[in-house]
Structure 1
Amino acid sequence: MIAQRFSFRPAAWLRLIALMAAGIARTASACDQDPSATCYSCWPPQSLTLPSGVSVAADLPPGALLTQWVTSQLVEFVCRPQNNTVGIGMYLSGDASVRTGIEVSYNGASIPVLATGVPGVGIAIAMQFESADGSRTAWQGTQRGGPMNYDAWSPMLAGQSGSKTVGAQTAIALVKTGPLMSSAWVRGNQIMLLQPYVDAVVPPTVDISTTSIMFTPMTCTTPDQSVDVGTFSASDFPAVGSLSPPQAGKGMLNVQFLNCPGGSDDPGTSTGLIHSVTYTISPQYGEAVNNVAALQPGAGSATGIGVQLLNAAGKVVPLNTPQTLSGYSSLFGGTYQVPLTARFYRTGPVTPGNASTVMTMTVLYQ
């Protein structure tokens, strides 16, 4: 007698990736102006508001935007130089001082992506400066150098006297830098500080920080399954290519895609929506013949047979070949089933024994 169990173990592979963002409002108000101070600012610490949570579609390439760009107001300092060099600079803080090697584009500028402390998620920081002569610089990324080893800085104009205003505007976006395999917080923290320069760095400073954001990979639930193919005699396989005869209640399984998320794209990003779902079924022990899974080897195992999968129309399911999940709705998500039948298939001379195998389903979300 030929034994019977076909073990089918779907295992989802996540693809990453999703987001939105909001801006901040100016909060400057009347402030104390020390007449003896070289520079002063009416701006309190600034916080760039990110969405509290983002569902991230899988399989985005590194460099894909996970949020829209969030732009601050222009933070200004008023300085009173006396024939001095005047400018403004920015220092990065914490994890944001570490480069990831990825760059993105903002307003025509190439912006380096910096670390956030969460694997797979980086932050791009773009700067625009207001110089002491009232002109605005082009947007620029961060680089270490300039006076006092700033990470970004305005033109340093010499020979300035009287009341001079310098300022800086910030734009940030979160960016994919690698795999995001599970939910993760990017916690709000200070990412930079701004400080004026009058022949040297002078007080005061204004801190720029972000709010916290939760990233959640968008996937369907694909539970493991086992199926009993049935018990058969060698005589049930009269020739190579023979399939095991149907047995009531045997060999039937529904591959399940449960609780698939739906939604809409976040404008300006590559995320927020699973556009399609494909799955690939691969035999753990290879193929005995084309599209027939080999049995688990070992003492007491049957020989001369393998396991073949058929779809609801009775067609052979190709192994190691991506299949599209039919009927999937990006907008509504939902639960889906793919009905399959597992049958034994004769590949050569049959000897009785245990007949089991394992297949793995890899799911790709785009």
Structure 2
Amino acid sequence: MELVLRRDRSGALMGTGTKCMVIAQDKLRRLKIPRLTLFAFALAACAGPALAQDNTVNVNGTITVNTCNLSTPDVQVDMGQVGIAVIDGVGVGSPIADFTPLSIDMVCERGANVRITLQDASNPGSTLPYIGLRPGGGVATGVGIQLARAGDGSIVPLGPSATWVAGTNLPAGNFSIAMRAHYYRTSSATSAGAANAGALFGVEYF
């Protein structure tokens, strides 16, 4: 509100556009009120009610998860030929010398967190500690393929709920989930033949 003071016919000061009246100057002089105080009285007398307005601050944004792009969507592993005699007994894998390295490679954004799930392609619901051989004619019996982590040699869990963290807060660039595969004896009765298998893997980012 703009305050404009003017004299009325009685010599008093009035604020135009308001309903207030200020004490006449001659009376104020007799009271010896300073000019600054007079001005303050005028403001106090002529001030109208304060105006308030409610507004909203809108904030828009999106939270994203840092991800990776697979460099090798399909991983090929050549296990070669392994004699059944090198696998000592049921529940035992082939010796370290017969491990075959493999890796799932990807390029990640900085700060990405990666977890992975592996399943038997022939039996996705299986939670056995090995991947079963693909069925068919001329297939070996009594063996499967087991996967282990390359770092500590621990067995990779299998199954739809067997998710494990492969890396956290990764730097930007290449990242590999390194593993190794070996044949695993599942039965005392064995026979030679083709020993091919497949695993399904899913990669999640969190």
Q: Describe how 1:88-107 pairs up with structure 2 within 5 A.
A: none
Going from structure 1 to structure 2, the CA distance change for 1:221 and 1:365 (only over 3 Å counts) comes to same
Q: 1:254–1:340: 8 Å Cα contact kept in structure 2?
A: yes
TM-score, length of structure 2 as denominator length: 0.60
Q: Partner letter of residue 365 of structure 1?
A: Y
User: Once the two structures are superposed, what CA deviation does each residue of 1:274-299 show, in whole Å capped at 9, x if it has no partner?
Assistant: 3x211112221137772211111112
State the Cα distance separating 1:338 from its structure 2 match. 2.8
Q: Does the 8 Å contact 1:288/1:306 carry over to 2? A: no
The CA distance in 1 between the partners of 2:156 and 2:93, in whole Å, is 14
Structure 1: any 5+ residue segments left out of the alignment?
A: 1-133, 140-169, 177-214, 263-272
User: SS where residue 292 of structure 1 aligns?
Assistant: coil
1:254 corresponds in structure 2 to: 103
Match of 1:284 among 114, 121, 135: 121
Cα contact 1:294–1:357 (8 A) shared by 2: yes
Q: CA deviation at 1:329?
A: 3.0
- The share of aligned pairs that are identical, in percent, is 26
1:252 is displaced (CA, Å) by: 1.3
Q: How does 1:35-114 map to 2 (within 5 A)?
A: none
Residue among 139, 149, 168 paired with 1:311: 149
The residue number in structure 2 matching 1:221 is: 69
Contact persistence 1:310–1:342 (CA under 8 A): yes
Distance across 1 between alignment mates of 2:96 and 2:143: 16
1:259 shift after superposition: 2.1
Using the alignment, how far apart are the partners of 2:202 and 2:81 within structure 1? 29
Residues 288 and 297 (structure 1), Cα distance of their counterparts in 2 relative to 1, 3 Å cut: farther
Contact 2:127–2:158 at 8 Å: present in 1 too? no
- CA drift of 1:175 comes to 6.2
Q: Over aligned residue pairs, what C-alpha RMSD do you find?
A: 3.0
CA distance in 2, matches of 1:277, 1:291: 22
User: 1:138 Cα deviation (Å)?
Assistant: 6.2
State the one-letter code of the partner of 1:297. Answer: P
2:134 aligned with 1:296: yes
Tell me the equivalent position of 1:337.
176
Runs ≥4 in structure 1, deviation > 3 angstroms?
134-139, 170-176, 245-248
Note if 1:360 corresponds to 2:200. Answer: yes
Counterparts of 2:166 and 2:153 in 1: how far apart (Å)? 17
Q: Deviation digits for residues 155-180 of structure 1, max 9, x if unmatched?
A: xxxxxxxxxxxxxxx9573669xxxx
Tell me how far 1:353 sits from its aligned partner. Answer: 1.3
The answer (yes or no) to whether the contact 2:143–2:183 under 8 Å persists in 1 is yes
Structure 2 unaligned regions, length at least 5: 1-50
Give the alignment's TM-score, normalised by structure 1.
Answer: 0.36
CA contact (8 A) 1:230 1:247 kept: no
Q: Distance in 1 between matches of 2:183 and 2:126?
A: 12
**Equivalent position amino acid for 2:103 in 1:** N
Q: What amino acid is the match of 2:69?
A: T
Q: Residues of 2 paired with 1:346 and 1:245: CA distance?
A: 12
Tell me what 1:234 maps to. Answer: 84
Per-residue displacement from partner, 1:193-219 (whole Å, max 9, x unpaired)? xxxxxxxxxxxxxxxxxxxxxx9x843
Q: Is the 8 A contact 2:121 2:198 kept in 1?
A: yes
CA contact (8 A) 2:127 2:157 kept: no
| Counterparts in 2 of 1:172 and 1:297: CA distance versus 1, 3 Å | same
Aligned equivalents of 1:173 and 1:277: distance in 2?
A: 28
Match of 2:191 in 1: 351
Q: Identify the structure with the greater helix proportion.
A: 2
In the alignment, is the contact (CA less than 8 A) between 1:283 and 1:293 conserved in 2?
A: yes
User: How far apart are residue 235 of structure 1 and its match?
Assistant: 2.8
Q: CA deviation at 1:357?
A: 1.1
Give the distance between the partners of 1:252 and 1:296, measured in 2 at CA: 21
Q: Deviations over 1:306-358 (max 9, x none)?
A: 110112222211123222123x435x322222321101111112122111111
SS for the counterpart of 1:293 is coil
Equivalent residue, structure 2, for 1:107: none
Residues 309/344 of structure 1: CA separation in 2 closer, same or farther (3 Å cut): same
What is the CA distance between 1:301 and its match in structure 2? Answer: 1.4
Structure 2 contact 126–158 (Cα < 8 Å) conserved: no
